[in-house]
Structure 1
Amino acid sequence: MADRTPVALAADALSEGGSPLLTYYDEATGERVELTAPELGRWAARSASLLRDGCGLGPGSRVAVLLPPHWRTAAVLIGAWSVGMAVSFRPRATAGLPVLEPGGDRPYDAVFVTPERLDDWLEDVPEGVHRYLVGTGPGPLADVPVGWLDWSSEVLRHTDTPPDYTAVRPWDPASPDGTSYGAWRRLATEIAEQLDLRAGDRLLVDAAEHEQPLKWLLAPLAAGASVVICANLAPARRDARIAAEQPTRVL
């Protein structure tokens, strides 16, 4: 339907059981995580609860997610979307991170960043902003700076009861620049069509080449496809990874 939002697409996808919805593989470490729809849904629900109940945030709150393609990134994004937050995927384009969006007059209410990108944020996030480090390896982080929290530890303190996915409306702002949830849904559908993604497809994504969640997360959700995220995918290993994962589409 034309009025479907990314939240509704996620809710549909997360209601399906059985085969993996999202697979994450790191060529550098050999880590492989495979999540069914209900498993990803529980992580997303905990993320929503962390933002809503732990941070006191809700519809219209501004969230910056400076994270690479990863199963934890999917959980953070779906969690933020499910409670109607305005999410910025890449709040900076060059060195020197602005706390405000261009033309904005409010700081972010929450920030999610990897330890590798922490230096961009360490001195630039004002007091009162909820700050989370999201590791891309297994387990909790061993070293977290003062003023920041480890997402993987904090999220487990919260319930995995699914939020009310129907509460987000197509005209609600999905990003700080005012782009609506309905517009995101249309973009995701267009990208899925450009990629010729269909229900049941398995999309393999090179994480280093495609950080935009519209491509590696929302487009597959819109098409009813599953996704395999490959981090640190060396060109010499690409064919071997494709043979091992057996995708129907490669991005």
Structure 2
Amino acid sequence: MLDEALRGDPGRPLVTFYDDATGERVELSVATLANWVAKTANLLQGDLGAEPGDRVAVLLPAHWQTAVWLLACSAVGVVADIGGDPARADLVVTGPDTLDAARACSGERVALALRPLGGRFPQPPEGFLDYAVEVPGQGDRFAPFVPVDPDEVALAVGGEELTGAEVVTKARAEAAAPGARLLSGLGYDTWQGLAAGLYAPLATGGSVVLCRHLDRLDDEGLAQRVESERVTATVR
């Protein structure tokens, strides 16, 4: 789906992220998001040694960097296990609030500070690679060592496992009108949140305004955002 978007209009906005706890706003075009995905996939496959079939416990909130990791996992062929048990995973990627839980992983551990503009930790957490330190030097193009099988499991969320082909099919079936600009305040811990916050807009040439801590915005503030971002549908 990302390749199709790149062939279409790579300069158009794809993910606009707000954090209403910090005031952060980041907008990523298709091309910019794809570049982050390529770098992260190279990190996964090269430096971290991830292979198709490996399982990555994803302990991250709805965030633009989480979207990058989900697509990078698919590019490599590893399973993105949302909220998965780190002790049963081959690798773990975590935010700052779940570092203790992530230590249960015996494999590679990557931590994201989730600071504005993808900033690094002031002090890297012990036992973890700092994503913001490791990813910039990775290559801008990615090619998997082994072709990814679309019929293998790609995503685990809410007790359900989906193959890559099933993710694409469900995303296209549940998407809004082609080209829609969707505002989502849902988390990434359910298929509904993942579809609204990434996969469905990607599947249909649309875009998403992904909002973390949206409950801190009052009705007037939400209405202003809907107008300023030219939102056509809202999911909360």
Q: TM-score range by the shorter chain?
A: 0.7 to 0.9
Q: Does residue 242 of the first structure (1) align with residue 226 of the second (2)?
A: yes
Identify which range, 234-243 or 47-56, moves more after superposition: 234-243
8 Å Cα contact 2:37-2:69 kept in structure 1: yes
Q: Does residue 99 of the first structure (1) align with residue 77 of the second (2)?
A: no
**Rounded Cα–Cα distance in structure 2 between residues aligned with 1:170 and 1:209:** 22
Name the residue aligned to 1:14: 6
Q: Which letter does structure 1 place at the counterpart of 2:122?
A: A
8 Å Cα contact 1:82-1:165 kept in structure 2: no
Q: Does residue 183 of the first structure (1) align with residue 161 of the second (2)?
A: no
In the TM superposition, what whole-angstrom CA distance separates every residue of 1:215-239 from its partner, at most 9, and x where no partner exists? 3111111122111111222241322
**Rounded Cα–Cα distance in structure 2 between residues aligned with 1:140 and 1:113:** 13
Instruction: Give the CA deviation at 1:130.
Output: 1.0
What are the ranges of 5 or more consecutive residues in structure 2 without an aligned counterpart?
A: none
**Rounded Cα–Cα distance in structure 2 between residues aligned with 1:98 and 1:82:** 21
Identity between Structure 1 and Structure 2 (%): 35
Match of 1:157, SS? Answer: coil
- What is the TM-score with the length of structure 2 in the denominator? 0.86
Indicate how the Cα distance of structure 1 residues 89 and 142 shifts in structure 2: closer, same or farther if over 3 A, else same.
same
Q: How many residues align?
A: 224
**Rounded Cα–Cα distance in structure 2 between residues aligned with 1:29 and 1:243:** 21
Which structure's residues are more often strand, by fraction? 2
8 Å Cα contact 1:62-1:109 kept in structure 2: yes
Root-mean-square deviation (Å): 2.3
Give the alignment of 1:1-251 within 5 angstroms.
Answer: 9-15=1-7, 16-91=9-84, 97=85, 99-100=87-88, 108-122=89-103, 124-126=104-106, 129-138=107-116, 139-163=119-143, 167-175=147-155, 179-192=162-175, 197-208=176-187, 212-233=193-214, 234-236=216-218, 237-251=221-235
Name the residue aligned to 1:94: none
**Rounded Cα–Cα distance in structure 1 between residues aligned with 2:24 and 2:50:** 33
Instruction: Give the CA deviation at 1:207.
Output: 4.2
What are the ranges of 5 or more consecutive residues in structure 1 without an aligned counterpart?
A: 1-8, 92-96, 101-107
8 Å Cα contact 1:65-1:90 kept in structure 2: yes
